[in-house]
């Protein structure tokens, strides 16, 4: 059986929101497998319904930019939060986000793009690493566009204009006045930042994610001791609830807690006197899905000193 350390318990607590002793037991039951431990806690009703990306750890910046009816979001990672406050690093992220309007989602194409001061984006990144003295990576990019309408950007707790730890784009296809679309897009983007939808609609949720939810619901329902047909209905209900809560158009608007996002869009369209389609969205949260290794600074210093 794998040794369960205090740092493992802390990490699981951060991921699940469960108590310390429950986390320790979950890790023991799953031989230290972090993902399996999260699922174990959830089958016991001891963890939140989904692992929030806000619990992950990585530094850097997310940039968002819009030009006309096209917008982009880009994430550039660094080793420490200190670098994210560096003017040179911020200028790099801001520039690269603008360049991504042309290159799109392909990070390799973005890295190969010409940088305004000479060379390529990859060259500029190499220079940053050398001068700032810390490793940095161009992690991902996403572009949205509409034929007619607006792509509205939003940065939650911005570190600088267009830069922060959570960047959102909302694409609205419509002939409605731009000021109406900008106002609606800003509200929807703030909702996306807070509610963390997994997809625009139910069909967009990954089948593997749904299968995992079904397996968890099955194990929880089976513990009820109820007849098989009742258990089956419980499982179907739990999965349906999960899908509804994680599809953007079905979510309840965070600003009133009762109106579905699809109805918010419909009401705005009625007021504007023109159809409005929420075509797509992007939500980049810094470090999402990255596991950052915990380090013991004292131990590192001792090792470097040969102690």
Residue 135 belongs to some domain of the structure: yes
pLDDT of residue 9: 86
Question: Based on the domain organization, do 28 and 129 belong to the same domain?
Answer: no
Question: Based on the domain organization, do 50 and 66 belong to the same domain?
Answer: no
- Sheet with strand 59-67: strands edge to edge: 136-145, 70-78, 59-67, 163-164
pLDDT of residue 47: 65
Residue 220 belongs to some domain of the structure: no
The CATH number covering residue 29 comes to 1.10.8.10
The CATH number covering residue 139 comes to 3.30.479.20
pLDDT of residue 1: 55
Residue 24 belongs to some domain of the structure: yes
pLDDT tens string for the chain (307 positions)?
A: 578 888 888 888 877 777 777 888 889 999 988 888 888 887 877 665 444 333 333 799 999 999 999 999 999 999 888 888 999 999 999 999 999 999 999 999 999 999 999 999 999 998 888 888 888 899 999 999 999 999 999 999 899 999 999 999 999 999 999 999 999 999 999 999 999 999 999 888 888 888 888 888 888 888 888 888 888 888 888 888 888 889 999 999 999 989 999 999 999 999 999 999 999 999 999 988 775 555 444 554 444 444 4
Q: What is the domain extent for residue 96?
A: 58-199+268-285
Question: Based on the domain organization, do 115 and 154 belong to the same domain?
Answer: yes
Question: Based on the domain organization, do 190 and 70 belong to the same domain?
Answer: yes
Question: Based on the domain organization, do 80 and 32 belong to the same domain?
Answer: no
Residue 236 belongs to some domain of the structure: no
Question: Based on the domain organization, do 187 and 130 belong to the same domain?
Answer: yes
Residue 222 belongs to some domain of the structure: no
Question: Based on the domain organization, do 190 and 102 belong to the same domain?
Answer: yes
Give the number of domains in the chain. 2
């Amino acid at each position: 059986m794998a040794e369960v350390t205090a740092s493992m318990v802390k990490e699981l607590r951060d991921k699940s929101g469960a108590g310390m002793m429950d986390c320790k037991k979950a890790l023991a039951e799953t031989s230290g497998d972090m993902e399996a431990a999260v699922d174990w806690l959830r089958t016991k009703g001891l963890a939140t319904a989904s692992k929030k990306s806000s619990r992950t750890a990585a530094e850097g910046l997310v940039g968002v930019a819009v030009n006309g009816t096209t917008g982009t979001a880009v994430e550039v990672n660094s080793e420490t939060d200190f670098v994210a406050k560096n003017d040179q690093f911020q200028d790099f992220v801001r520039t690269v986000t603008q360049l991504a309007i042309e290159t799109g989602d392909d990070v390799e194409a973005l890295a190969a793009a010409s940088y305004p001061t000479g060379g390529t984006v990859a060259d500029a990144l190499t220079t940053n690493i050398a001068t700032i003295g810390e490793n940095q990576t161009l992690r991902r990019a996403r572009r949205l566009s509409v034929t007619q309408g607006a792509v509205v950007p939003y940065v939650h707790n911005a570190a600088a204009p267009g830069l922060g730890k959570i960047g959102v784009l909302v694409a609205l296809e419509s002939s409605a006045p731009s000021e109406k679309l900008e106002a609606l897009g800003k509200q929807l983007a703030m909702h996306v930042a807070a509610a963390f939808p997994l997809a625009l609609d139910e069909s967009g949720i990954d089948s593997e994610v749904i299968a995992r939810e079904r397996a968890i619901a099955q194990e929880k329902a089976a513990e009820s001791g109820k007849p098989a047909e009742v258990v089956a209905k419980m499982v179907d209900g739990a999965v349906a609830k999960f899908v509804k809560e994680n599809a953007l158009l079905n979510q309840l608007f965070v600003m009133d807690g009762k109106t579905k996002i699809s109805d918010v869009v419909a009401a705005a369209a009625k007021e504007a006197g023109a159809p409005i389609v929420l075509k797509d969205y992007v939500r980049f949260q810094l470090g999402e899905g990255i596991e950052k290794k915990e380090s013991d600074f004292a131990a590192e210093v001792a090792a470097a000193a040969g102690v």
